[in-house]
Structure 1
Amino acid sequence: MIKSRTTRPVAKLAVLAAMALTLGACSSTGGGGFGGMFGSSEPAPPVEPPPAPEMPASIRSEEIVGRWGLASYMNPNDRVRTENAARGQCKNPYIIGAGTSGGVMMHLADEATPQELRLKGSPSGKNYIGPPGPAGDPRDREIVSFDGRILVTKFIDKDAAVRYGNMVYVRCAPRA
């Protein structure tokens, strides 16, 4: 066996390094040093509840699929005039298509490409159109009114709501 002056200090250093790695591993697993082995005095972080399931809307997606004249207004006093303007847009209609998963194909605010959106209900009884997730998401639009012939929506996002106003969709007559 070869003995050297540096053998013993190097061996001690190796043991200390191994202990440091072991303790570091304990604390990185959330155990807080030896607390992971003997229990921790720190409370566990609160568990977030799972997202609420989507509520079905009182309007079915099939009810809004079709060809629509589209216009918008800011001032509620302009609604009737805007409905008439939307009727005039049926020569170049906005198409709401059926999605492949039961939703509808529409545009989100500021998006050039339509995508499948869902009709969602809420505990308050309001209906929304938007991407999957809870109702009232900033990307959603609220259905303000719908009577089968006229659909009025407004975006939840305040900036989009200011830019687009209340969107009025008037169902176009079937093609002759």
Structure 2
Amino acid sequence: MLGSFRGAARVLTAAAALTSLAGCASTLPSFSGGGSAPEPGPAPMAAAPPSSIRPDEIVGRWGMAAYHRPEDRARTEAAARGQCKLPFVINRSSTGVSMLGHDSPQVQDMLLKAGPDGKTYVGPSPAAPDADDREVVSFDGRVLIMKWVDPEVAGRYGTMILVRCGAEGTTARAPRPAPAAR
């Protein structure tokens, strides 16, 4: 009888040890797979490159118009110049600029951000490009051309041309030299 008691005690002790090890199994490395190294975790996100346009460069009053067909661009730019009596206003905010988004009469804080594709975007979230963003097609200091990233929004609003309101002869933005290679 004593032998069967010792045998039962050994089985219970082994079962208790296995049960306590089972709780740790999720933190132990896997030894199946032929001794290969554990799979790497997700790569750390690199900091987004800075936008090629600073917020202060687009703050101001703008005449605005939009077009859907590229052949209408010159006519639309001329029409935008005539809209300064009812300007589209871009103000400075603590995070970038404040301006109207789409489908809302409320002014929103927007960020100027560079996307992984090297393009500049204006939008409310830090991700670029995001569905609520506008891509900066061109900017020379006097004329800012942007198109919506979301195809549905772009279909409704077209490509925006903003022409800076102000005295004639305001100088255009000088092109910036490319950043130095590191």
Given the two structures, how large is their TM-score scaled by the length of structure 2?
A: 0.67
Pairing 1:171–2:167 present: no
Distance of aligned partners of 1:96 and 1:55 in 2 relative to their CA distance in 1, 3 Å threshold: same
Match of 2:108 among 115, 130, 133: 115
Distance of aligned partners of 1:132 and 1:122 in 2 relative to their CA distance in 1, 3 Å threshold: closer
Identity of aligned residues (%): 51
Match of 2:94 in 1: 100
Q: How does 1:2-21 map to 2 (within 5 A)?
A: none
> CA separation in 1, counterparts of 2:147 and 2:105?
18
Q: Given residue 64 of structure 2, which amino acid in structure 1 is its aligned partner?
A: L
Match of 1:81 in 2: 75
Number of residue pairs matched?
158
Pairing 1:68–2:57 present: no
**Aligned 8 A contact 2:48 2:116 in 1:** no
* Residues 70-99 of structure 1: per-residue CA shift (max 9 Å, x gap): 110000111111011111110000100001
SS at match of 2:104: coil
Instruction: Please list every run of 5 or more consecutive structure 1 residues that lacks an aligned counterpart in the other structure.
Output: 1-21, 30-43
**Aligned 8 A contact 1:117 1:132 in 2:** no
Q: Given residue 137 of structure 1, which amino acid in structure 2 is its aligned partner?
A: D
Distance of aligned partners of 1:45 and 1:157 in 2 relative to their CA distance in 1, 3 Å threshold: farther
Distance of aligned partners of 1:97 and 1:49 in 2 relative to their CA distance in 1, 3 Å threshold: same
Match of 1:153 in 2: 146
Distance of aligned partners of 1:27 and 1:106 in 2 relative to their CA distance in 1, 3 Å threshold: farther
* Residues 23-62 of structure 1: per-residue CA shift (max 9 Å, x gap): xx88999xxxxxxxxxxxxxx8974445442321111111
Q: Given residue 59 of structure 1, which amino acid in structure 2 is its aligned partner?
A: I
Q: Kindly report structure 1 stretches of 4+ aligned residues shifted beyond 2 Å.
A: 25-29, 44-54, 122-125
Instruction: Please list every run of 5 or more consecutive structure 2 residues that lacks an aligned counterpart in the other structure.
Output: 1-19, 28-37, 168-182
**Aligned 8 A contact 1:68 1:95 in 2:** yes
